[in-house]
């Protein structure tokens, strides 16, 4: 079984746990996910099955979208509501001031990855260190927030909901915590839902219950997305039957024989029957080299 399951991850389960559930339902041992979601978060989790796992690290870095809720006046060690409360402060910020400050976080911004995150430092995951009470120095990273829109506000309780479109690698928890500091009262994320990732939107995602029902009635193939659907950002090269065989066996293809204009980068390679056979790469040489061969 090869392809992509676009899962609407439920709350209170890790991304690894969600993958394990999908593995059992689909009966496919080889499974991997892209873009970790925290246990408290829900929404789009892209899960690669079978031969599709070979392409995990080669998926284009698409923008992501989230709907997040937060509460002013509270800070925690995890930057979300599941953590240990570190401080509570009085809130004087109005809804209008929250909206005004949110605009400061649009565009390219600098973020410090939270200690409770999957970032590795010297070969160790930050969340493993954080659970031991160890805090280490982290490097800030540049991310881009394309838009922040206020969806809901309750000035009296200090609770708000926002929609965020951002680059890959953006931490919404950190954005909210930084917003709280900018307002002088602190803030904590109370809910997070990812609505877009890897070029897919939440409308195309299925729940674990829907996936299990499809497995029971034999319609799993109707849910599985072809792996090349996630690679559509890369242009297409079509090859002859002989070239397809050579490419599938790991051989390079001569650019002059392909009769394609020179364009550097990755390409989706298809045989004469429009069957996806893998990803190739054109560098500074005269050939299309094999990056990944599709084994589905």
Partnered with residue 131 across adjacent β-strands are none
Residue 15: helix, strand or coil by DSSP? helix
Let me know: does 199 contact 62? Beta carbons within 8 Å. yes
Q: Tokens representing 263?
A: 């364009």
* 265-270 β-sheet, strand order: 236-238, 265-270, 276-282, 287-293, 253-254
Kindly state the helix (H) or strand (E) to which residue 153 belongs, with its residue range.
Answer: strand 141-154
CA distance 117 to 159: 24
CA distance 6 to 86: 36
Q: Can 178 be counted among the known catalytic residues?
A: no
CA distance 174 to 132: 21
Q: Give 48: exposed, middle or buried? Use CB within 10 Å, 0-12, 13-18, 19+.
A: buried
Residues in the chain: 296
Query: How far is Cα of residue 77 from the mean position of the Cα atoms in its chain?
Result: 23
Q: What is the dihedral of CA 25, 40, 161, 5, to 10 degrees?
A: -20
Catalytic residue among 38, 80, 178, 228: 38
Helices marked H in the chain: 15-26, 95-102, 126-131, 172-183, 208-217, 241-248, 255-258
* Catalytic center residues: 38
């Amino acid at each position: 079984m090869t392809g992509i399951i676009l899962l609407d991850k439920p709350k209170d389960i890790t991304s690894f746990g969600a993958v394990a559930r999908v593995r059992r339902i689909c009966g496919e041992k080889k499974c991997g996910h892209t873009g970790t979601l925290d246990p408290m978060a829900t929404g789009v989790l892209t899960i690669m099955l079978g031969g599709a796992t070979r392409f995990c690290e080669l998926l284009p870095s698409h923008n992501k979208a989230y709907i997040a809720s937060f509460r002013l006046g509270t800070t925690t060690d995890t930057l979300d509501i599941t953590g240990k409360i570190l401080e509570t402060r009085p809130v004087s910020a109005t809804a209008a001031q929250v909206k005004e400050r949110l605009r400061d976080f649009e565009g390219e911004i600098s973020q410090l990855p939270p200690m409770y995150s999957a970032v590795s430092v010297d070969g160790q995951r930050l969340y493993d260190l954080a659970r031991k009470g160890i805090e280490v120095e982290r490097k800030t990273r540049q991310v881009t927030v394309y838009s922040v829109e206020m969806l809901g506000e309750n000035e009296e309780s200090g609770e708000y909901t926002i929609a965020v479109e951002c680059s890959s690698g953006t931490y919404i928890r950190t954005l909210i915590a930084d917003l709280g500091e900018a307002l002088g009262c602190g803030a904590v994320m109370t809910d997070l839902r990812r609505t877009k990732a890897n070029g897919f939107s939440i409308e195309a995602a299925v729940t674990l219950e829907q996936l299990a029902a499809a497995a029971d009635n034999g319609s799993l193939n109707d849910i599985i997305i072809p792996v090349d659907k996630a690679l559509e950002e890369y242009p297409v090269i079509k090859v002859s039957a002989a070239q397809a065989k050579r490419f599938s066996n790991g051989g390079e293809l001569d650019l002059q024989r392909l009769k394609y204009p020179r364009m550097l980068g990755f390409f989706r390679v298809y045989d004469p029957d429009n069957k996806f056979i893998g990803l190739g790469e054109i560098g500074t040489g005269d050939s299309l080299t094999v990056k990944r061969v599709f084994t589905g």
